[in-house]
Amino acid sequence: GQQLNQSPQSMFIQEGEDVSMNCTSSSIFNTWLWYKQDPGEGPVLLIALYKAGELTSNGRLTAQFGITRKDSFLNISASIPSDVGIYFCAGPTRSNDYKLSFGAGTTVTVRA
Amino acid sequence: NAGVTQTPKFQVLKTGQSMTLQCAQDMNHNSMYWYRQDPGMGLRLIYYSASEGTTDKGEVPNGYNVSRLNKREFSLRLESAAPSQTSVYFCASSDGTGLKYNEQFFGPGTRLTVL
Q: Which residues of A touch B92 (CB under 8 A)?
A: 42
Choice between A98 and A22, residue whose per-residue pLDDT is larger: A22
Residues B3, B49, A72, A21, CA torsion sign: positive
Cβ contact, residue pair A43, B43, below 8 Å:
yes
Distance (Å) from the alpha carbon of B92 to chain A's nearest alpha carbon: 9
pLDDT of residue A27: 87
Percent over 70 (pLDDT), chain A = 96
**Do B42 and A99 lie within an 8 Å CB cutoff?**
no
**H/E element holding A109?**
strand A106-110
Cβ atoms of residues A7 and A77 within 8 Å = no
Report helix, strand or coil for B80.
Answer: coil
Of A44, A45, A88, the CB nearest to B42: A88
In this prediction, residue B39 carries a pLDDT of 83
Q: What is the pLDDT of residues B19-74, one digit of tens each?
A: 999 999 999 999 999 999 998 778 999 999 999 999 999 999 999 999 999 999 99
Q: Do B102 and A97 touch (CB under 8 A)?
A: yes
Residue A1: pLDDT over 70: no
Per-residue CA distances from A105 to A9, A28, B15, B53 (Å): 7, 20, 30, 33
| Residue partners of A112: CB distance under 8 A and separation at least 6 | none
Contacts of A50 in chain B (CB under 8 A): 99
Interface test with A, best of B45, B102, B111 (most A CBs within 10 A): B102
- Residue A8 preceded by cis peptide, ω within 30: yes
DSSP SS3 for B98: coil
Whether the CB-CB separation of B5 and B24 falls below 8 Å is answered with yes
CB contact under 8 A, B107 and A42: yes
Q: What is the pLDDT of residue A95?
A: 66
CB contact under 8 A, A99 and B101: no
The larger pLDDT score, comparing residue A44 to residue A92, is at A44
Is there a contact between A37 and A88 (Cβ–Cβ < 8 Å)?
yes
Confidence check: pLDDT of A75 > 90: yes
Q: What is the pLDDT of residues B65-105, one digit of tens each?
A: 999 999 999 999 999 999 999 999 999 999 877 777 789 99
CA gap A90, A78 in Å, rounded: 24
Q: Residues 45-64, chain A: which have Cβ within 8 Å of B?
A: 45, 48, 50
Contacts of B11 (CB under 8 A, 6+ apart): B19, B21, B110, B111, B112, B113
pLDDT band at A58 (very low <50, low <70, confident <90, very high): very high
Closest CA to B106 of B43, B56, B58, B57: B43
Q: How far is B14 from chain A (nearest CA, A)?
A: 23
Contacts of B87 in chain A (CB under 8 A): none
